[in-house]
Structure 1
């Protein structure tokens, strides 16, 4: 860390924290906003179901796969410089997204937006760590988690309101003023710092990791379109496994690896990585799938959908504080496991809520899922650092963030493919059934009806509800198993486990 000539005062530190929090706020809003806008984007730009899936997956893949490399760039070339560069690029790509007329270019810009988000997030977090120490640092990083919760809570309703009045472009541009204010605060209040021991970027590790994630995601997203047995799908999935293996070999031999694999000797660290991935399939995928269902299939307005999504994500504003208080009487392992058990129960409850049923039957299930996931949400970031030796906390935080973000992208791809497969199975056989299933999974019920011929809308809605319910039951089972795994692994003493 570059030595500070004089410490920042309290007011200056608050402005620095505000800059990073605003940057963090823009990310969940830019993730949930296009999900609410997806039916409108599809109507405006067209595109195949695979191309529509990349609207969300392109952002998450680029964001998750480049976080660790972005952190290394910040350490080598300056945390302030990388933070401001990421914000500037994010603003440019956000503006470009509102102007494109092709869905292919939209997807490309979304990936570029995800890459710039990784630069801003990694640079901002690294800069923040230089300004705060001890308990102040813990509270500062907790504020980042709270900010994410605010973005997830109010992103859908904000985007829905803007879309209903100004069109889908407004859901993209809403982050622009937030980004500009963060940039201004960063320019005037952040000071530059670097890691004096940095020895360049682990480019072989960064490239192999990104390539492996890309191959895996592409293979999963292409499978519903051309079939799981297609040589292209098999080839991409096999290549992903090979490149992941190559990445592991590279990291073991690197002098300064991007990913220190020796950290996985700590059982509790492994448990934290499982915990980091858990919200992806028990909560985050719902932020994408439910707006598609409510707007595209059930015919809700964007504003109505945003209001319903608050029931899901609203608990993130309150419950993390409750979880912090409960740690006085209960261990983090118990609270995290209990939260996931509640989420599993909420997912099963939601699976019983068929399209067309009164909203009052759905809202309690959404609240239960949100309440459950909010218990571990407020504890995860602290656990990521506390389960490893202090001198390895920086690497542990980078791995945790990558696991969380990359896990969300992979989970979204898998869940989207699984929903399409369930719809395909439920719709039966026919020349256009596979295409109809993909179209229906992206919320375009009108096109699906055109492909299926003489099938009533009620029958299609019933089929969709059954497939969606089965998907939620699968997610509930996975969440239940995860809760038990975390409870067991987080209670294993690290020293005894490593000695064994």
Structure 2
């Protein structure tokens, strides 16, 4: 074998190993969203915890991950993509492995906040590093594969969590991602190449702090609303503070010679369209990873494993459809494909809303399958689009803003859905419960019961309000759940129209 041939072979092996490492990174991120959604009832049984504390097991991770991703992308461009990728992955591994040893739900919530920071650094660093290694068709294939792997983590997260809970215990829902993260860390060191933006002048600290804090405070305010109410002074203060911080971020970035986020990009319809597309999976898919397993376990009485098996109908298409979308993108515009996918997802959400409460198991599984097929069309195309809207040397910034929008969208969608569910259930209980029964409860009990039902925790909701009875609680719950799915269907349809308008003429290799 000639020297040049051996060099080419080594280079191909190195790039293949790098893609595998990127896929491992992409797999553990959604696994840490979908898995804990199934494990919350087991943690509640083992450690107790209030409705608010248990909700934060999901929300804490998403809050910090979504808020810190943009700053992490800028750090990667400035100080080294490999360094940020490896540091984030190691932090993620250590914190994730420590979660099962915490003595209370409160401490699990704290570690989930730190875990989200590690995930933000790892994923932003990985996307920025991989962008430097691939171009054209190769980049599209690499990012489609990573998008599919991200989908696989989401697809099998609930099933894997259910299997682990029923066989090894709920602690392994955290031990397994920690082991995968350690494996990814071991591969990053020898195979990733250190790169950075040669024109970087240092991190834009005022911009990073104002944006991260603004997004975190906004998400926190939305998460707090079901507990305190939208008119509570603390909730209003959070929302007002978030608007002030984000306005300050805009002012800061406009004055920076080398901004963390080039605001002029928002004059580009394609860039705006990519950000709109980034939000779509939040309410067309991600919220279902939290809502449906909780319903199957807490209301319908299925085991964690059975709930995970049913979730495969929703998520299995993400293992196949993104590859199909990558092939179709040779002939059909990416924006058109994405818009069609969101229309299909909207139809599936509406169908699920109308059939979920019925007795036909096959109908709701088919509806979940339709949703998965619909969201799978844009799923494998989004990451490649995100890094193609700016020059290669600013890829970390592009990956950062895209993932910040996507993950902030996930966090706010989950929080908003929880707030809407709780509010609708509360209204339903006030309307349908007899006056004698409602008079036996304090406002705090009523809010706690509504929050428990919004989490699909029927057992503890009934314990807080035993005078009402199971049937009336279910009546309020089912009405709120059906309405929520129809709202999500409308949001997906509206987003499809926006994507078609903004990205309808974009081809894969523009």
TM-score greater than 0.5 by the shorter chain: yes
Deviations 1:464-496 (A, max 9, x none): 111100011111111111111221222489xxx
* CA shift in 2, pair 1:305/1:463, >3 Å: same
List alignment gaps of at least 5 residues for structure 1: 1-5, 494-500
1:461 matched to 2:474: yes
On the 8 A contact 1:268/1:492 being kept in 2, the answer is: no
**Matches of 1:96 and 1:120, distance apart in 2:** 18
**Matches of 1:99 and 1:31, distance apart in 2:** 19
Q: 1:78: how far off?
A: 2.3
Matched residue, 1:330: 332
Matched residue, 2:498: 485
Cα RMSD (Å) of the superposition? 1.9
Deviations 1:326-380 (A, max 9, x none): 2344322222111111111111111113446242221011001111111111222
Matched residue, 1:3: none
Q: 1:169: how far off?
A: 0.8
**Matches of 1:135 and 1:191, distance apart in 2:** 21
TM-score, structure 1 normalization: 0.93
SS in 1 for 2:101: coil
**Matches of 2:99 and 2:286, distance apart in 1:** 23
**Matches of 2:73 and 2:257, distance apart in 1:** 17
Matched residue, 2:149: 147
Within a 5 Å distance, the mapping from 1:398-409 to structure 2 comes to 398-409=400-411
Q: 1:402: how far off?
A: 1.5
Q: 1:192: how far off?
A: 2.5
Choose which of 236, 240, 243 in structure 2 pairs with 1:241: 243
Matched residue, 2:3: none
Matched residue, 1:372: 374
**Matches of 2:56 and 2:194, distance apart in 1:** 35
**Matches of 1:241 and 1:293, distance apart in 2:** 34
* CA shift in 2, pair 1:48/1:356, >3 Å: farther
**Matches of 1:318 and 1:370, distance apart in 2:** 10
Matched residue, 2:161: 159
Matched residue, 1:136: 138
Choose which of 14, 19, 23 in structure 2 pairs with 1:21: 23
SS in 2 for 1:98: helix
* CA shift in 2, pair 1:286/1:435, >3 Å: same
TM-score, structure 2 normalization: 0.91
Deviations 1:132-173 (A, max 9, x none): 333322222222111101111111111110011122111111
**Matches of 2:381 and 2:149, distance apart in 1:** 14
Deviations 1:427-477 (A, max 9, x none): 117422222000111232122112223223233223211110001111111
Within a 5 Å distance, the mapping from 1:1-16 to structure 2 comes to 9-16=11-18
* CA shift in 2, pair 1:89/1:391, >3 Å: closer
Q: 1:48: how far off?
A: 2.1
Within a 5 Å distance, the mapping from 1:249-328 to structure 2 comes to 249-328=251-330
On the 8 A contact 2:93/2:178 being kept in 1, the answer is: yes
**Matches of 2:250 and 2:348, distance apart in 1:** 37
* CA shift in 2, pair 1:89/1:390, >3 Å: closer
**Matches of 1:10 and 1:492, distance apart in 2:** 34
Matched residue, 2:176: 174
- Residue range with higher mean Cα deviation, 84-93 or 381-390: 381-390
**Matches of 2:386 and 2:187, distance apart in 1:** 28
On the 8 A contact 1:423/1:463 being kept in 2, the answer is: yes
Q: 1:91: how far off?
A: 1.2
Q: 1:59: how far off?
A: 0.7
**Matches of 1:259 and 1:446, distance apart in 2:** 47
Q: 1:387: how far off?
A: 4.8
Matched residue, 1:416: 418
Matched residue, 1:114: 116
- Residue range with higher mean Cα deviation, 452-461 or 222-231: 452-461
**Matches of 2:294 and 2:233, distance apart in 1:** 30
Q: 1:131: how far off?
A: 2.7
Matched residue, 1:440: 453
**Matches of 1:134 and 1:476, distance apart in 2:** 34
SS in 1 for 2:355: coil
Within a 5 Å distance, the mapping from 1:14-93 to structure 2 comes to 14-93=16-95
**Matches of 2:166 and 2:114, distance apart in 1:** 27
Choose which of 476, 483, 487 in structure 2 pairs with 1:470: 483
**Matches of 2:225 and 2:193, distance apart in 1:** 48
